[in-house]
Structure 1
């Protein structure tokens, strides 16, 4: 039998019989991050890096965070490799042989990633998993689909194009995407922009689901369907990192027959600026916000000529996009 492993992993099959328990670690990781940012930007081996982490941190949550922060701030995304389209195949005799060869593949890839200092999602996930193994943390890899561009709004998730991890902290399995924690691709320049994000370290399953749909739906830790995922707007990393929440609209496909679209957002700061743009107009506009306690409401009018996509901005950063359909 042959197993082929290939994930294009544009930034932004294994079956597990596990019961997932999730708790979100809302603790402040500033001290962990501060220590890790003073680490060397390269290590001679994964064992040396793991030894340093084991020496500095006692708790499972701190060790997991240290691994996440070091990888996200020191491994850069390899765009040429993401666009190469190369696959990796290996042969196995039986289930035991498959597990053994998968582990060897992962360890070899992790060591290569550390040495080269770059990679795609497979590399990030392999390095995170291997360092978890070396720091007494249980970890699994989760292949699936990522929602990364406007054309995916309203469409069912395609075959796996991404891979991320889940790490066990205490009795809880927590979702982690260190690839997206490392930065993003600038759509104008086409270049990877390093920018640390902690939004993809142990968020709630609901937040993680906004742009991740696992190959095995159980790995979402939610009772959600491919249709649920398809109907979501395109949420950007700046939204995942934020403290506010878009309450309405929840559907990513908006009817063009509507004359206006009401929006509701909770927990915007007093000084936050909201704006929007239709793709066929390419002109940034600001709605009139009505604030009532922690709730902000506004209405965006839709003209008969408005088609394509509507993108919402907060403080000039794109946070969500919607498709204007018939």
Structure 2
């Protein structure tokens, strides 16, 4: 266990894995199985959209089909990401609202066609293809730009620099969040390479869960009453947490001062009895197993904090990082 935890702590200084997990909506097994048998390539977005419209009738099924096909067949281009500036840019100018809409759609569709041909891209490419396919399938879609919370230094940092893009699609009368970029894979922290790994934690994700890692530039797209300050104050939640089925009830804040804190009380709802919990302070990388006190479906434990414990505190469940906090002087 010690070796695994130390490897993970070292990796935390790089970039966390893209969020993985199970869907927060109904079962989509039939849709996913059908999409798994689709061709790996299509000549154009129109061809793929036509196939989806032929096979699926409901808005929800069409949105899922687009998400699943892209997540299975489009690969994240890490080299392109590293060469880009942090904020996605639109490469056009306009003098009227009509011209803006037309040029924006052309920009998206050109990007969508390129991504479908190369099958490699970054978040703005994923969102362009998803948005285009939605339009071609008769779905209302938005592309949203904002800040992601994906690394330890983001704890306590206000969302001021846009570094990510995602979508919202309208199903019935409700707008639903989708992040197909994070649905397509994750970064292997040991190798620094991207891994294709289908996940659907970010398909139709409830706003409160989506908020843990996404803050839009336009606050109208939050779909919650949370603020930028709330986002900054959050701990860093890892992918394993979102797929776990349990919930950290406390603490809700992500920053603790060693001058004001001697113990950090934690409580977890619905943690399986067989699960083991440990914590590590980044300044010593020493894993500490905890003894859980269980009352009903809630498990509690305390973490003692001393003046030498500064940096980051990471909680592990079964050797997997699930949440991290920042410890300040």
Normalised to the residue count of structure 2, the TM-score between the two structures is 0.89
2:194 corresponds to which of 189, 192, 195: 192
1:320 corresponds to which of 281, 303, 323: 323
Please report how far the alpha carbon of residue 11 of structure 1 lies from its aligned counterpart in structure 2 after TM superposition. 7.5
What is the RMSD computed on CA atoms of the aligned residues?
Answer: 1.8
Structure 1 counterpart of 2:269: 266
Q: Runs (4+) of structure 1 moved beyond 3 Å?
A: none
Structure 2 counterpart of 1:60: 59
* Higher RCO structure, 1 or 2 (CA under 8 Å, sep 6+): 2
SS at match of 2:101: helix
Please report how far the alpha carbon of residue 277 of structure 1 lies from its aligned counterpart in structure 2 after TM superposition. 1.2
Structure 1 counterpart of 2:5: none
Structure 1 counterpart of 2:9: none
Structure 1 counterpart of 2:258: 256
Structure 2 counterpart of 1:6: none
Please report how far the alpha carbon of residue 110 of structure 1 lies from its aligned counterpart in structure 2 after TM superposition. 0.6
Contact kept? 1:11, 1:180, Cα under 8 Å: no
Contact kept? 2:17, 2:238, Cα under 8 Å: no
Contact kept? 1:106, 1:130, Cα under 8 Å: yes
SS at match of 2:289: coil
1:292 corresponds to which of 292, 295, 319: 295
Give distance in 2, aligned partners of 1:316 and 1:58: 43
Gaps of 5+ in 2: 1-15
Structure 1 counterpart of 2:236: 234
SS at match of 2:265: strand
Contact kept? 1:261, 1:299, Cα under 8 Å: yes
Where do residues 9-24 of structure 1 align in structure 2 (5 Å cutoff)?
12=18
1:169 corresponds to which of 162, 168, 171: 171
Structure 2 counterpart of 1:20: none
Give distance in 2, aligned partners of 1:193 and 1:311: 24
* Residues 40-99 of structure 1: CA deviation (Å, up to 9, x unaligned): 222122122112211221211111111111111111110111011265521212221111
Give distance in 1, aligned partners of 2:134 and 2:276: 41
* Residues 151-201 of structure 1: CA deviation (Å, up to 9, x unaligned): 110111122111100000111100111111112223332211222221111
Give distance in 2, aligned partners of 1:25 and 1:310: 28
Contact kept? 1:36, 1:69, Cα under 8 Å: yes
Counterparts in 2 of 1:179 and 1:11: CA distance versus 1, 3 Å: farther
Give distance in 1, aligned partners of 2:17 and 2:262: 34
1:278 corresponds to which of 274, 277, 281: 281
Structure 1 counterpart of 2:46: 47
Relative to structure 2, which stretch is displaced further, 240-249 or 99-108? 240-249
Contact kept? 1:197, 1:241, Cα under 8 Å: no
Residue 152 (structure 1) aligned with residue 154 (structure 2): yes
Give distance in 1, aligned partners of 2:317 and 2:171: 33
Structure 2 counterpart of 1:16: none
Please report how far the alpha carbon of residue 126 of structure 1 lies from its aligned counterpart in structure 2 after TM superposition. 0.6
Give distance in 2, aligned partners of 1:48 and 1:239: 38
Count of residues in correspondence between the two structures: 307
Give distance in 1, aligned partners of 2:305 and 2:106: 55
Gaps of 5+ in 1: 1-9, 13-23
Contact kept? 2:139, 2:170, Cα under 8 Å: yes
Counterparts in 2 of 1:150 and 1:218: CA distance versus 1, 3 Å: same
Relative to structure 2, which stretch is displaced further, 79-88 or 198-207? 79-88
1:216 corresponds to which of 215, 218, 221: 218
1:301 corresponds to which of 284, 304, 313: 304
Please report how far the alpha carbon of residue 269 of structure 1 lies from its aligned counterpart in structure 2 after TM superposition. 1.8
